[in-house]
Structures are given as C-alpha cells and as structure tokens.
A and B are shown apart, each in its own frame.
Chain A
Amino acid sequence: MILLFVPLVLFAHIVGLKELVQTLFPLLVHKRIVKVYTSPSFFPLFDDNSTFVLVEECNQSDLVFGDINCSKPIFGLSYRFFSTHPNVIGAFYYRKGRPQLVIKMKSYEKYFGHLDPSLQRYAQ
C-alpha cells in the first residue's frame, strides 16, 4: 500500500511537523477530532488524543497522512505524489531546500467543501 516509504521515514524527524498537523488538520477536515490513517513511523505525530484518533483501516479515516494509496482524502508528503494522485487534497514537502504547504482546491472541495479563509494562501 505504501508507494513511497522513504520520504515518510525522512520526514518523521522534522521538528515542528507535529505542531503543524495539530493546527492544520482540524481546519482542513472541519472537525475537532480527526480520524487519521498513517504509517507507524508517523504515529508519534498523532499521539494527542484530544485532536486525533488513529484508525487501522484507511477507509475508516477522515484523512490519510503520507504518500499512501487510498480512496480517502490524502495529505501527501512529496510533490510527485501531490501532483499525480487524484485523492490528494494537500501536501507538505521540501522544495528547493525549503518547506512547502500546498492545498489542491479541486480535490479538496470534492471532499470537504469550503476551505478556511486563513488557508487560502496555500490553495492551488
């Protein structure tokens, strides 16, 4: 299921990523508690029980985190996955040495409708 395992391992050590997903995901999904499906290497990012519930099947999730093939909305971790997979609604990746956050409006609106105005600057 995991198409690209390597980027997941590399991104697991990024300082501040936990804070980003804690702030960003409730905004994206419009829910206070978000059901997330991801690979074990990312479990520590979602250990805050007041914001996240980790699910065992991708179909049970509100959002899939990582470059993982699934029919649910996916938040990707590479530009290639972001630009090729139809279910990707957004991604965090490094481009030209600097962190990037992007949201794909076409896919996002299909799953979640309106994007929070504060995230408009990241929309594509």
Chain B
Amino acid sequence: MRILFLILLACSLFAQNISEILYSIEVKNDLSQKTKEENGGISYIFTRLDMDALQIRSLHDILRLTPLTEKFNRYGLFDPYNPDSLIPFLSTYIKIYLDDHELGGVLYGSGLAILGDLDLGFVDHVEVYTQAPSLEVSTEPSVIIIKLYTKRAERDGGTSLYAQKESKNSSLLSLSFGKVFTSNSLYIYGARQKKGFAHPLGLDRDFRRSHALFSLYTKDQEFLFYGSSHHRGGFIGPSLDAKPNDSQIHTKFIHLHYLKKFRRFFFKTTFENMINKTHFSESPILTYINRQPLSDFATHSHSFQATFDLSYKYENARHALLMGAKYKYKHQKFDYIKIDHETLPPGKGPNNQKIYQLYAQESFYLTPNSVFNAGIAIDFVKNESNIDDYWIRLYRLGHTYVKDNWTFKSNYAHIEYHIDPYLMNSFFVTQPDLPSTKIDNVFEDIKYSLDTNQQLELVGGYLRGRNYLFPNRESKLYTVDHALSTLYFSFQYDWSYRPFSKLRTLFSYEKIDNIPMIGSYKFSQCTLSHYHPFENFLFFEEFFVSKFDHSAIRSDMNVGAKYHLLSNLDFSFRIDNLFDNTYNYPFRRIDPLTFRPLPTLRVPYSGRRAMVCMEWTF
C-alpha cells in the first residue's frame, strides 16, 4: 500500500506539470516558429495564441501593435504614406503576402489598399517584417512585408461557425471547414463582413465585404484560391470641401496561387484579377480634380497580374544559397472614365508592364554563431506603352551574430521601385516618365534574452530616399529633387510570465526630414498588450499612447475577455478605444469657389466600439 501511495504521490507531483506540458506543446509546435525568418530582418510575430488571446480579427488590429499606423486616406483606404493628397494610394512600400505569395498587388502594387481591414478568420499567424527584409522573405522592392499564413485542416479540422456583432451597425459571420484526407489537407472559409463608422459631414466609408478562401495542400504542392467582393463608401474622394453627394467604390478581386516543390526547387505562380468601379458626384458643380470643374466622375477599370517564380535553395553547414528567376506581367486598363456623364476619349492604354527578375542570396557562416548575408535582385522593367524601359536593383548586406543571450543584426539595403501601370499616363502624374524611387537603409538590431521567457530588443536605423514620388499642390505626383531622410528607433520588451500569459511593450520613434511643403515630421507611439487567463476566461488589455508631430499626446485602450464555455464553444466580448481618445487624422478642406481653406476635418479611424462574438466548432 505504501508503495502504491508513493507512486500515486509521485504521479500527482508530475500531474502539476500537465498544463505546463500542454503549453509547451503549444509553444514548440507553433507554426510561426517554422515560418519565422530569423535572418530576414526586424520582425513582429503574432502567434495563434497571441491572435486568439488578443482577439485579433482584422489586419487593422495587427497594424496598431507594430510601428505602423492606422492612417487612412481621402478614399477611406489604409495608406500610411499618403500625405492627405487626392492620389488614390501611395503606400506601395508595404506588401502583403498570403502563404509566401504576394496578395492584392494587382492594381496599386500593394494589397494594403483593399485588404487593410481584411477579416483574418482564415489566418493562423502573422509576421510583420520591417526595414527592407531579406530576399528569403520577399524579392519584391519593399520596406515592410506583412505575411499572413493560412489555417490548415490538421489544426483546424471540422466545421466552425463564428458570429460577431458590433456597435455602429457592424457584423461578421463566417463559416469554415477543414478536413484531412489521405495525405491532403483541405480548408474552406467564407465570410460576410459589414463595418460601419461615424459619418462626419455625412461622409460614408462603411463597407460590406463577402469573401471566400479555398486551399488544398499536399506533401509537395499547395493550391489556394481567394475571392472577394467589396462595396465601400468612398469617404471624401476627390472632393475639395469634403462634401460629396455620392462617393462609392466597388471592387471584385480574385487571387489564385500554386506552389510545387521538387527536391531543392520551388515553382510558384500567382494570378490576380481586379475589377474596380468608382463613382463620385457633388452638386451643384463643386467637385474638382486637379481644379478642373466637374460634378460627376465615374471610372471602370480592370487589372490583371500573373507571376511565375522558379527558385533553388541549397543549405549545408556553412552555406545557405537562394537563387531564382521571376517573371511578372501587369496589365491595367480603364474601360471607361466618365466626367459629367461624358466618356473621355480613349487614352494611351492599356498599360502593360513586364518585369523580368533574377535574384540570388548567399548566407555564409563565418563561425557557427556568426552569419554573413548578401543578396541581389535585378529587374528589367519593360513597359508596353509610351514609357521607356528601365532597370531597377535591390542589394542587401547583413550580418547576424549570436553570443550567449545576445543577438546582433547589422544590415544595409538598397531598394529601387518601379511605377505601377495604373499611374502611367494617368492624370495623377506630372510626366509619364517618372524616375524610379531609390532607398538606402541601414539598421542595427540588438536582442537580449534575460531568460527563456523575457526578451529585450532595441532597433535603430536610418533611411535615405531619393527620387521620392510626392504629390504637388495639384495632387499630381512629381519626383522630389532632394533626398528625404528618416531616423527611427524602437524598443520592445516581451515577457511570458506564466503559461498563456504574456506582456508585450513596444516604443517606437520616427523622424522624417526634408518633406516637401511640410519640412520635418515626428511620430512616436507606445503600445502595451497583455493577456492572462483566469478560470475559464482569457482576458486581454491593450494600451496605446501616440504623438503625431505637434499634436497633443493621445492615449486609449482596448479590453476584452473570452469565455471558454465548452471545449468547442467560446463567447467573447471586446471594447475598442474605451476612452474614445484615439488620434484624429486631419483632412484639409478648401472652398471650391474661393479656394480659401476651410476648417480641417479631423476623423479617427474607428472611435469607440463594442463587440460580442461566439465561436462554435462541430
């Protein structure tokens, strides 16, 4: 009996560790650990647990927790680099990837424009790479890469129903299904999303989106289809006084990609198609684009993009080699442009662009804890229009050194950008042939692990850009003669103080100099996110403090809790911007009759909102 008692006692002592073992299984098998590119640059990782605990449901929720902002433009689209101009989108430096394939770059060169507020119900984890990531992360010219990795049936099998009801007439309903058969993994997702916002001056930027995803994975092949249809209020649009009569944007978008692995070769192909329809009107005749009087403006365009990429990867104890060739075809055509119901005569279009790219990257281990990294990508951009062909280049040099608890990353990158076809011959450029923007970036990243659960990270860098495309007073893009420079640094502290509990703080500062008409601009923000379990609840709190240039400091917080009722049924609630004190983005207004300035319109992205959600898996 005594022996049996001792055995049971020993077993009981072991049993205390069951929850810790489960947590360790969760952490060790976290898919983000498999996709994270340590040598890829500065990264912000949101694991499945982070997304679950922080109730991250849209891409916007992610942007707020990184050094990026939720800044949107006059059309209501996320566009952090647009200085309140009439240009539809200016943040092509930010790219979105879905399972390592570029997503949504078909029209504006970046998926952020149409997918910035994307519902992430089909996403397992997210990685955000900033400051010119490595070619392993992306061979596209970019400063920021947002990588979304989709759910797989192995971990999200069965059927799941998710319903969310929000204030401001917003809601989300999604249904997903995952099944593993033989060695294949099938995942299907469909959702209807409706989001409402406050309507200052009657301005509408509400949107409705229906979207679906279908993915099929085998041992060496991946196939994914994503389709969406969205209808959104076009916010201010091209109106100078911010009082449009009607402002609408309809978008239909299809993305299809395929990956085949054979030994050390990877073949990737992506197809995207987008139909974009816009309508803006104002009465009486008071709407202006480039100060041309008009009352009604409508466009219908379609864009297509196809990418073929063949790469080769080789790795041994001393080397990691990546090399490949990529071909991208971009096509954009306005089916019509109507001004005051009169169709404009056909322009120079359609605008076709072919990009031929060769790339190579070598990582050489000087010692087992010191790796040197050099990458180059050369693009030949062939424009089938009246625009000259040209070459663009991308170089990257980096060194990563690991010693005990310290990690040092030093990096230099040179990036050049091409002009997207929709801007060629458009009324948004001062001349059809604009030289490509060139960016040089250096940074140092120092990480220190206090123990396995605590980590400090300090990043500092300097970015210098030449030939920046910038809108002039008529909102036409021109090339800035002088160089723009950006100084940035950030400090991050992560602490997983017990299983399922995590504290993350991030402070970031950015100063941009030599901005035309503005001079210099400073932006700093601090975010603190925290989640922790209690009984069957999982609570979270997020606290934000931001300071945009000379404006006052703003702070706000999000809070929420998830209640785990049954193993397959969860309820949650969440309140965003509890104090309703987020930054109000300024939008200039001009009286179209006198051209005198009107009081600036100030609008927050979201304002205070509450939501309740239910997720049932069966």
Q: A14 — which chain B residues lie within 8 A by C-beta?
A: 25, 29
Given contacts A16-B25, A20-B22, contact A79 B156 (CB under 8 A): no
Q: Quick check: A118 and B16 within 8 Å, CB to CB?
A: yes
A75-104 at interface with B (beta carbon < 8 Å): 78-80, 94-102
Given contacts A79-B158, A95-B567, contact A27 B11 (CB under 8 A): yes
Q: Quick check: A101 and B22 within 8 Å, CB to CB?
A: yes
Q: Quick check: B567 and A15 within 8 Å, CB to CB?
A: no
- The yes or no answer to A55 lying at the interface (CB within 8 A) is no
Q: Quick check: A116 and B12 within 8 Å, CB to CB?
A: yes
- The yes or no answer to B264 lying at the interface (CB within 8 A) is no
- The yes or no answer to A30 lying at the interface (CB within 8 A) is yes
- The yes or no answer to A119 lying at the interface (CB within 8 A) is yes
Nearest CB to that of B185 among chain A residues?
Answer: A10
Q: Quick check: B18 and A24 within 8 Å, CB to CB?
A: yes
> What CA separation (Å) do A23 and B24 show in the bound complex?
14
Q: Quick check: A118 and B49 within 8 Å, CB to CB?
A: no
Q: Quick check: A15 and B29 within 8 Å, CB to CB?
A: yes
Q: Quick check: A98 and B183 within 8 Å, CB to CB?
A: no
Q: A98 — which chain B residues lie within 8 A by C-beta?
A: 26, 48-49, 52, 155
Q: Quick check: A26 and B29 within 8 Å, CB to CB?
A: no
> What CA separation (Å) do A92 and B497 show in the bound complex?
25
- The yes or no answer to B151 lying at the interface (CB within 8 A) is yes
> What CA separation (Å) do A27 and B124 show in the bound complex?
33
CB distance from A16 to the nearest CB of B (A): 4
Given contacts A6-B180, A14-B29, A118-B12, contact A99 B156 (CB under 8 A): no
Q: A80 — which chain B residues lie within 8 A by C-beta?
A: 158
Nearest CB to that of A17 among chain B residues?
Answer: B25
Nearest CB to that of B183 among chain A residues?
Answer: A6
- The yes or no answer to A113 lying at the interface (CB within 8 A) is no
Neighbour of B155 across the interface among A24, A32, A94, A121, CB < 8 A: A94
For chain A, the bracket of interface size reads 35 or more
Q: B25 — which chain A residues lie within 8 A by C-beta?
A: 14-17, 20, 99
Interface string of B9-31 (1 = CB under 8 A from A): 00110111111011011101100
> What CA separation (Å) do A32 and B155 show in the bound complex?
32
> What CA separation (Å) do A26 and B14 show in the bound complex?
10
CB distance from B576 to the nearest CB of A (A): 22
Q: Quick check: A23 and B14 within 8 Å, CB to CB?
A: yes
> What CA separation (Å) do A9 and B567 show in the bound complex?
24
- The yes or no answer to B181 lying at the interface (CB within 8 A) is yes
- The yes or no answer to B292 lying at the interface (CB within 8 A) is no
Q: Quick check: B49 and A96 within 8 Å, CB to CB?
A: no
Given contacts A7-B180, A23-B17, contact A78 B157 (CB under 8 A): yes
CB distance from B18 to the nearest CB of A (A): 6
- The yes or no answer to B601 lying at the interface (CB within 8 A) is no
Q: A32 — which chain B residues lie within 8 A by C-beta?
A: 7
> What CA separation (Å) do A23 and B12 show in the bound complex?
9
Q: A9 — which chain B residues lie within 8 A by C-beta?
A: 183
Best-buried of A95, A97, A102 by chain B (most CB within 10 Å): A97
Q: Quick check: A16 and B28 within 8 Å, CB to CB?
A: yes
Q: Quick check: B21 and A19 within 8 Å, CB to CB?
A: yes
- The yes or no answer to B486 lying at the interface (CB within 8 A) is no
Q: B617 — which chain A residues lie within 8 A by C-beta?
A: 79, 95-96
- The yes or no answer to A124 lying at the interface (CB within 8 A) is yes
Q: Quick check: B156 and A94 within 8 Å, CB to CB?
A: yes
Q: B19 — which chain A residues lie within 8 A by C-beta?
A: 121
Q: Quick check: A94 and B8 within 8 Å, CB to CB?
A: no
CB distance from A8 to the nearest CB of B (A): 11
Neighbour of B8 across the interface among A6, A30, A121, CB < 8 A: A30
Q: A23 — which chain B residues lie within 8 A by C-beta?
A: 14-15, 17-18, 21
29 contacts between A and B (CB under 8 A): A6-B183, A14-B25, A16-B28, A19-B24, A20-B18, A23-B14, A23-B15, A24-B18, A27-B11, A32-B7, A78-B157, A79-B158, A79-B568, A80-B158, A94-B155, A95-B567, A95-B617, A96-B615, A97-B48, A97-B52, A97-B124, A97-B151, A97-B155, A98-B26, A98-B48, A98-B49, A99-B25, A101-B18, A118-B15
Q: A23-B18, A97-B52 are in contact. List 20 more A-B contacts (CB 8 A).
A: A6-B181, A9-B183, A16-B21, A20-B18, A20-B22, A20-B25, A23-B21, A26-B7, A27-B12, A32-B7, A79-B157, A79-B568, A95-B158, A96-B156, A96-B160, A98-B155, A102-B567, A117-B12, A118-B16, A119-B18
Name the 10 nearest CB pairs between A and B, nearest first. Answer: A118-B15, A16-B25, A94-B155, A15-B28, A97-B48, A97-B155, A23-B14, A27-B11, A99-B25, A20-B21
Name A residues whose Cβ lies closer than 8 Å to a Cβ of B: 6-7, 9-10, 14-17, 19-20, 23-24, 26-27, 30, 32, 78-80, 94-102, 116-119, 121-122, 124
Name B residues whose Cβ lies closer than 8 Å to a Cβ of A: 7-8, 11-12, 14-19, 21-22, 24-26, 28-29, 48-49, 52, 124, 151, 154-158, 160, 180-183, 567-568, 615, 617
